[in-house]
A and B are shown apart, each in its own frame.
Chain A
Amino acid sequence: MANEMEFRTCPITGKKVYATTQNLMWINAVTAVVFILIGGIMALLVALTRWPAVHLLSPEWFYKALTAHGLNMLIFWIIFFEVAGLYFGSSVVLNSRLAAPKVAWLAYILMLVGSILVDVMVFTDNATVMFSSYVPLQAHPLYYLGIILFAVGALTACGIFFGTLAIAKADKTYEGSLPLFTFGLSAAAIIAVFTLACGAIIYIPTFLWSLGVIKNLDPAMYRLLFWGLGHSSQQINVTAMVSIWYLLGALTVGAKPVNEKICRTAFVLYILFINLASEHHLLTDPTLSPAHKVFNTSYFLYLAVLASMIHALAIPMAVEVAQRKKGYTKGLFEWLTKAPWGEPGFPAMIFSLLIFGFIGGITGVVYGTEQLSIKSHNTWAMTGHFHATVVGGTTLAFMGLTYYVIPLIFRREIIGKKWASAQPYVYAAGMILLILGMAGAGTLGSPRRHWDVTFADSIIPFSFDPTVLLFTTIAALGGILAAVGGAMYVGVSVLSVFLGRKLAPNEAKLVY
């Protein structure tokens, strides 16, 4: 293991990059990519099965693959990547050594063991329960143990982040307020603590229940607390993603926040109110009062939605100001047309912003109302909504950032720059089709988590409006395209990290 105090200085940003931080970021990011590969293979299998023309897997395998897809993507890929981001945002951005690197390694090992345990249980038929594992559907105790280990590891990583903030402050490695990016990640880490606390409150009893120690668990109580974990973790993703938008804006066109007060206010609104939104999973449940539903699903008067609206202004504005300063001032939109569309980070940021905001955000606000939830709950439209938020939004932003992390932090030259530049376009196009297909079919009633929307094996015959099949086909084609985009991402990043030319200490490689 590297010496804790060893560091180099980044030729582009002038930041100190400590060797310990660099190694931890490397291992977490590489592990994340392994999981997006597993999750992506499952995605393709699931998408091809839902397409009646192909109907690839058996029902047993379909539900198993769907469980694996949800877990490997939503939990493992995203959170390993976020942990790498937390170490970057604290140690590198603040020029500080990382707090307790040994503990950070322990956190990594806990997360790794947890995720392997979960995957083994899923693939050995011991946990076909979907990532939500609703009680009383029961998985093998080791499945719950795996989730608990993973969560403890992730919580420890948040602790390292806060610890590093404290060290940086004590060592005075920065002056005044935290940089905006780190402030945003602090918001994400705070949201994560509530999230993981809910996880502990619910997974520990569930683990005991699977062992037979506890006899009864109220399924409605499980849902309440599970979504305290399951949805709030999506709010971590949103917050991390927005922080990355600011960062990508800076890396690609040199955008800087126009008004710090406004950007930070939006993050503070996230911290205070965004976690209430877990409620919108429970709108059609039998047990909670309308007052609880309305108060919470509105994020307390929609104040967290306001925050997203603020970012939606602040980020494009920062880009426009930066571009106009460079002299792209012709007409209303020269700043946009002359943007670096050939560099992967810029289109990744813009598509992420548009897919997240226009598709994910609007559907989210609509489906999250007490009455319209009746029209969308558990339908494929819901799956469409969150592929817009966590895939078109978060995952695409993470992908875009990867192309900068590899040269700047891992010091390797990207292999296949053309592929990297094309990747966000392919992935975004595939995702948009997938989402539209899902939303269209779901609006007509097509259910999520369903092996056969033709109902061939039902004793009571039923078939949907044929338009559902049209939309399902659109979704499948989009899914295939997105899987190609995903494979391009995994290919470029794995090749570059392992085989890319090592950059010399002072070599600066940013522009494509």
Chain B
Amino acid sequence: MKEEGKISRWQVFYDDISMLFVLGVVIPTIFYVIWGVMELANAPTAVITGP
């Protein structure tokens, strides 16, 4: 077996599928979905006056 501590921290990070999972879902959710939904929700509505 391998001794702990010698393996690069990056390697440990890449092997951690659950961490990658969380990041892979959170990043697009924040930047694409939430940001986009907020812009759509906050867009002004034209007020039509007159006849």
Contact = CB atoms under 8 A, between A and B. Distances in A.
A296 interface: yes
Contact of B24 (A191, A278, A296): A191
B11 interface: yes
Nearest to A295: B31
Contact of A272 (B11, B27, B29): B27
Given A177-B15, A275-B28, A276-B31, A193 B36 contact: no
A264 B14 contact: yes
Contact of B40 (A194, A197, A287): A287
Given A194-B25, A268-B14, A221 B40 contact: yes
Contacts of B43: 287
Contacts of A288: 36, 39-40
A178 B21 CA distance: 15
Contacts of B29: 194, 197
A296 B14 contact: no
A499 B17 CA distance: 41
Nearest to B33: A228
B31 A176 contact: no
How many residues of A sit at the interface, in one of the four size bands? 35 or more
Contacts of B28: 194, 228, 232, 275-276, 278
Grouping DSSP codes into helix (H, G, I), strand (E, B) and loop, the A interface class, with mixed when no group exceeds half, is: helix
Contact of A289 (B2, B14, B31, B39): B39
A330 interface: no
A284 to B, nearest CB: 15
A177 B14 contact: yes
Nearest to A175: B1
B39 A275 contact: no
A250 interface: no
Most buried by B among A187, A194, A221, A268: A194
Contacts of B37: 221, 224
A272 B23 contact: yes
Contacts of B25: 190, 193-194, 197
A225 interface: yes
Given A278-B32, A296-B32, A190 B20 contact: yes
Contacts of B31: 276, 295-296, 300
Most buried by A among B2, B14, B23, B29: B14
Contacts of B15: 177-178
A499 to B, nearest CB: 40
A220 B43 CA distance: 11
Most buried by B among A197, A218, A220, A271: A271
B14 A224 contact: no
A292 B40 contact: no
Nearest to B23: A272
A136 to B, nearest CB: 16
Interface in A160-217: 162, 165, 176-178, 183, 186-187, 190-191, 193-194, 197-198, 201
B40 A220 contact: yes
Nearest to B20: A271
Given A264-B14, A300-B31, A292 B24 contact: no
Nearest to B28: A275
A215 B50 CA distance: 27
Contacts of A165: 17
Nearest to B22: A190
A279 interface: yes
Nearest to A220: B40
B36 A176 contact: no
Given A218-B40, A292-B39, A279 B32 contact: yes
Contacts of A232: 28
Given A177-B14, A275-B32, A278-B32, A287 B24 contact: no
Interface in A273-301: 273, 275-276, 278-279, 287-289, 292, 295-296, 300
A218 B36 CA distance: 13
A191 B24 CA distance: 7
B12 to A, nearest CB: 10
A459 to B, nearest CB: 29
A201 B20 CA distance: 22
Interface string A225-241: 10010001000000000
Contacts of A278: 28, 32
A275 B17 contact: no
Contacts of A218: 40
Interface of A: 162, 165, 176-178, 183, 186-187, 190-191, 193-194, 197-198, 201, 218, 220-221, 224-225, 228, 232, 261, 264-265, 268, 271-273, 275-276, 278-279, 287-289, 292, 295-296, 300
Smallest CB-CB A-B distances: 10 pairs:
A275-B28, A271-B24, A190-B24, A224-B36, A194-B25, A190-B21, A177-B15, A264-B14, A271-B20, A186-B17
Given A162-B21, A190-B20, A276-B31, 10 more contacts: A177-B11, A187-B20, A272-B24, A275-B24, A275-B27, A276-B32, A288-B40, A292-B35, A296-B31, A296-B32
21 contacts: A177-B14, A177-B15, A193-B21, A194-B25, A194-B29, A198-B33, A218-B40, A221-B40, A225-B33, A272-B23, A272-B24, A275-B32, A276-B27, A276-B28, A278-B28, A278-B32, A287-B39, A292-B36, A292-B39, A295-B31, A296-B31
